């Protein structure tokens, strides 16, 4: 299966999501947060660095729950902003 290339706006949204998750994680380790969310630390690392800019909804919801973020906050802070 061939994926459609991401637009620059989609890449930027992924980078914003990564920054938000890093900020919310604070001093907690990736391993700790990922384990509590039911993910691998590698998956969390890819999301935080923007290498996985379009994670599944349930992945984002699990991370938000572990980090104490509301999905509304995630949506607002990571929305694609028209240029």
* Tens of pLDDT, residues 25-73: 999 999 999 999 999 999 999 999 988 888 999 999 999 999 999 999 9
Is residue 38 a part of any domain in this protein?
A: yes
Is residue 2 a part of any domain in this protein?
A: no
Alpha helices (runs of H) in the chain, residue ranges in sequence order: 8-25, 30-37, 41-49, 57-67, 71-78
Tell me the whole-structure pTM to 2 decimals.
Answer: 0.88
Q: What pLDDT was estimated at residue 81?
A: 64
Q: Which two tokens stand for residue 81?
A: 């902003």
Is residue 83 a part of any domain in this protein?
A: no
The domain that contains 55 carries what CATH number? 1.10.260.40
Lowest mean pLDDT among 22-26, 63-67, 79-83: 79-83
What does the alpha-carbon distance between residue 8 and residue 43 come to, in Å, rounded to a whole number? 22
Q: How many folded domains does the chain comprise?
A: 1
Collapsed DSSP state (helix, strand, coil) of residue 39: coil
């Amino acid at each position: 299966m061939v994926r459609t290339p991401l637009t620059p706006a989609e890449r930027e949204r992924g980078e914003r999501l990564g920054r938000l998750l890093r900020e919310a994680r604070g001093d907690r380790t990736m391993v700790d947060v990922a384990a509590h969310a039911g993910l691998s630390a590698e998956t969390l690392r890819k999301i935080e660095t923007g290498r996985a800019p379009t994670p599944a909804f349930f992945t984002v919801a699990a991370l938000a729950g572990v980090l104490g973020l509301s999905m509304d906050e995630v949506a607002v802070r990571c929305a694609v902003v028209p240029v």
